[in-house]
Structure 1
Amino acid sequence: MRGPNWPTRSNFPTSYSCLRVSTALINWTNREVRGERQHPYLIKSRDSTAKLVYHELFAYLASQKRDPFRQHLYWECDDVENGRCDWLEIAALDTLAGAQSWQTPVNVPVKGWRNAFTPAVVTDSISNAFDFPRRSGAVRATYAANRFELTTSRVGKVRLYLSPEMVDFGRELTVVINGQNVFRGRATMDKAFTLANYRREADRQAVWVNYLELAIPARR
């Protein structure tokens, strides 16, 4: 899975102050509290350094604003269990197909790995921060004025989740995938789907009222 924030590796190297990594896809600051301290210790600690870490963490979280209806999305995954990002879901992969030229591997070379059990030991090796053992599929998607446009790479099927915040249900929707029109028509608000989806996700910021499931057409 690849998105605005990637999962971290447990023994990613840090310094006492902080390590900042910035690439096109990462805005990540990692702060370390030295010593063999478990998470419960950090929560209960009155240590000034530990307190500073949590103050910074919650200040950062408070500054972030979620927008589940962004008009532009890029999503990539190697397992459809991680295929959903807001209104876009990769429902099936086609990893036997070749990747498109815009789907390029992205990683972060890291030196100075620390041992998870003896973090004081720093190795001289250099390796990638992330391990992607399987082929992935990716989608670039946009919408505006009741029109969705998607470009896919190694994807077999997608789902588009719909909200009145995004589309006008009184007008026709158009979906174009890889330059081909795959849907043109009216979508309706489905009460049963809306309620079932809300019970499952309990998301008060994004209420999805229906979805479209679309197979990726063969490229011409």
Structure 2
Amino acid sequence: MRYKIYNEDAYKIIKKLKNENVNINHIITDPPYLISKDNNFYTMKNKRQGIDFGEWDKTFDLFSWIKPYSEILDKNGSMIIFCSYRYISYLINTLEANGLITKDILEWKKTNPMPRNTRRRYVQDTEFAIWAVKKGAKWIFNKPDDIPYLRSTFTTSTVLGKERTKHPTQKSLVLLKEIIKIHTNENDVILDPFMGSGTTGIAALELQRKFYGIEIEKDYYKIAEKRFQNVITTLI
């Protein structure tokens, strides 16, 4: 099995994964940030649509998925969870209440961030991810030999060109590949319970990892499904 994806609710399908004795090496995921709001950027000269990604980003349960998914994580496993700065401490508390230890906070620095009123606010060019490992884990950290010390900042553009799908919070393939190279090994099994358009899985497959993905929204699942079919064709 190179990959397996489900158009399901991650909170419900976990029972099936447990019954099938699925064992995961790493969870790398970008769940909803709970930051959507009505905002037409009235203070900007050129009006832009507000930061409203949809209902899925307004009512999502951000924390209680961690406990059941930590139970299918390998003893040397890790989690990397993208999140808003608003929830970093809450997610760390939840992770550490469920047998994981936070090692570092990763930063994604965007070279082309979304503009805002620069006379009144800082440009928001950074997103964050929490890296945590199982207690007692022999965790993976593949530091390149030609770099004396590795910073936790990853600098890329947001998604552009042919890579862009209609998913509003799609992550960069370059970003995910860099993270996967450092924190996983070939043939490891990576799970994304909230896979969106499937970027984590595409990165995993291109780097010879295996992948499980779950996405509740049918439209996004179909986008991911097509992307997986295309990448498998190129890897054959």
Instruction: Assess same fold via TM > 0.5.
Output: no
The structure whose RCO (Cα within 8 Å, separation 6+) is larger is 2
Q: Which has the larger radius of gyration?
A: 1
Compare the two structures and name the one with the higher helix fraction: 2
